[in-house]
Amino acid sequence: MKSLITGINGFVGQHLASYLRHCGDEVRGTYVGSQPSSELDLKWEISQPATPSLIDKLKDFSPDVIYHLAAISHPGSCGDDLPTETCKAVNILGTRHVADLALALPSEPKIIFTSSSKVYGTRTAEQPWAREDDPLQPKGGYAHSKWAAENLLRDRIEQGLKVVIARAFNHTGPGQSPIYLVPEWCQKIKDADGPQSVRSLATSLDLSDVRDVIRIYRLLAQRGTLGETYNVGSGQAITTADIWNTLCEIRGGQIEVSAEKPEPSQQPIADVTKLHEAIGPIERITLRQTLEDVYRSVAS
């Protein structure tokens, strides 16, 4: 397959590009900033439409799949309620520009759009599961931006857009920014010389390894049904206390910790029935292995 990755120099984009090349795919990407991952990558700020020059280059490349990863992906950077102007420009308008690009290419590429479990809103301990056909209750600017981008893509299907929506649940792995929980806690635990404080030890969530997530994206490109939405998660609930305690074991001893928010909270847990019907079962990396790998990457 020929694959184009938007946001190829991001955390997930780098893992995906490496995996696709390992599978024998021909890969190009778009990036922002000054550091392309390859001399074949193309600079594109997706808040702006693709230029005629960029379109011509991608017509020559003729991608079969566009993995649309580029986004402002940290919820805290997107607005507490509705999306900030920057978030709207990148996550919503940028998705429109990717759709326009796909429709302008004669190769008629399939888009794998990475949405988010945040569109489901919160859950309760009694009803933690999230199914693709559940009513959506986005909360916060990031969730609203992903919900709006999903709707924008669905509205373009009648024009011939080929799209599969992948609602990604929490995921981590080596190379993730310390603004996210697991690498942040790895840093805390590695450097700890006394009691530590964290936001919550009583949050239940669905956490996957990024290396599993990117394998699922490629399988959805091969086997996913056009126009459909799939949960990309582990289907297993863990708590933030599980993460903390496992990281302490990896370090070699427990560290005293207190939580700023003692009340329990429940994030959505992926119902992965539809996903497995589409791609079949996959062997996943264990939570322990994931946390060990992230800890090593932070400690090195």
CA distances (Å), origin 232, targets 74, 173, 209: 18, 15, 11
pLDDT at 57: 96
64 secondary structure, DSSP code:
S
Instruction: Tell the residue number behind the tokens 């004669």, with chain if given.
Output: 106
Domains parsed from the chain with CATH numbers: 2-173+208-234+270-282 (3.40.50.720)
pLDDT at 39: 81
**Structure-token pair, residue 220:** 């959805």
251 dihedral zone (left: phi>0; alpha: psi -120 to 50; beta): alpha
In sequence order, the β-bridge partners of residue 38 are none
**Cβ–Cβ under 8 Å, residues 266 and 126:** no
Ordered per-residue pLDDT tens for the chain, 300 residues = 999 999 999 999 999 999 999 999 999 999 998 777 778 899 999 999 999 999 999 999 999 999 999 999 989 899 999 999 999 999 999 999 999 999 999 999 999 999 999 999 999 999 999 999 999 999 999 999 999 999 999 999 999 999 999 999 999 999 999 999 999 999 999 999 999 999 999 999 999 999 999 999 999 999 999 999 999 999 999 999 999 999 999 999 999 999 999 999 999 999 999 999 999 999 999 999 999 999 999 988
pLDDT at 40: 81
Phi and psi angles of residue 257, each rounded to the nearest 5 degrees, phi first: -145, 145
Instruction: Tell the residue number behind the tokens 């607005």, with chain if given.
Output: 79
Angle between helices 94-104 and 52-61 (to 10 degrees): 50
**Cβ–Cβ under 8 Å, residues 217 and 114:** yes
**Structure-token pair, residue 29:** 């990407």
Q: What is the three-class DSSP state of 62?
A: coil
For residue 140, which of 77, 72, 81 has the smallest C-alpha distance? 81
